[in-house]
Amino acid sequence: MSDELYKEFILDLYRNPLNKKRLDDFDIEQNGSNPSCGDDVNIQIKFGQDKKIEDIGYQGQGCAILEASTSLLTDEAKGKSKEEIMNLKEEDIIKLLGVNIIYTRKKCALLGLKTLQEAIKKYV
C-alpha cells in the first residue's frame, strides 16, 4: 500500500473510529494524557468469564494518529488475555498503523497502549 493510501486509512479511522464509545458496564477504567500535545484518552474494559476482554471502549480527543492507533488497538484487544495485552510492544502498534511514525508523534501513537496497559495492571 502506498503512503497516500495509509494516510487515507489513518484519516478514515480519525473520522470513523472503531470502539469509540462509553461502556455502560465495565470492570476497569483508565485515563491517559499526553501533556506535550494535549491528547487525552479514557478506556473502559469489560472482561468475560474467561478473563479475556469481552468489550472495550474509549473516549477522548486528540490527533489523527491517536485516534487511529487507539481504534486499531481496541479492536485488536478484544478476546485477548491480560498477559497478551501486557506483552504488546511499541512495534505492534506501529505495525497495526502500517506507517512509519516520526519520533515526535510516537507518544501520540502509543498513548492508547500505555493507557490500556495501565488499566490492565489494575485488574486482578
Backbone angles phi, psi at 39, to 5 degrees: -65, 140
pLDDT for the residue 103: 78
Helices 90-97 and 64-77, axial angle in degrees (round to 10): 110
Q: Which domains does the chain have, with CATH numbers?
A: 3-122 (3.90.1010.10)
Residue 16: CB atoms within 10 A of its CB come to: 10
C-alpha cell recorded at residue 123: 485488574
pTM, whole model, 2 decimals?
0.91
C-alpha cell recorded at residue 15: 473520522
User: Residue-wise pLDDT tens for the chain (124 aa)?
Assistant: 556 666 788 889 889 999 999 999 999 999 999 988 899 999 999 999 999 999 999 999 999 999 999 999 999 999 999 999 999 999 999 999 888 887 778 999 999 999 999 999 987 6
pLDDT for the residue 124: 62
Task: With beta carbons less than 8 A apart as the criterion, state whether 86 and 117 touch.
Answer: yes
- The SS3 call for residue 124 is coil
Strands (E), the chain: 28-34, 39-47, 53-61
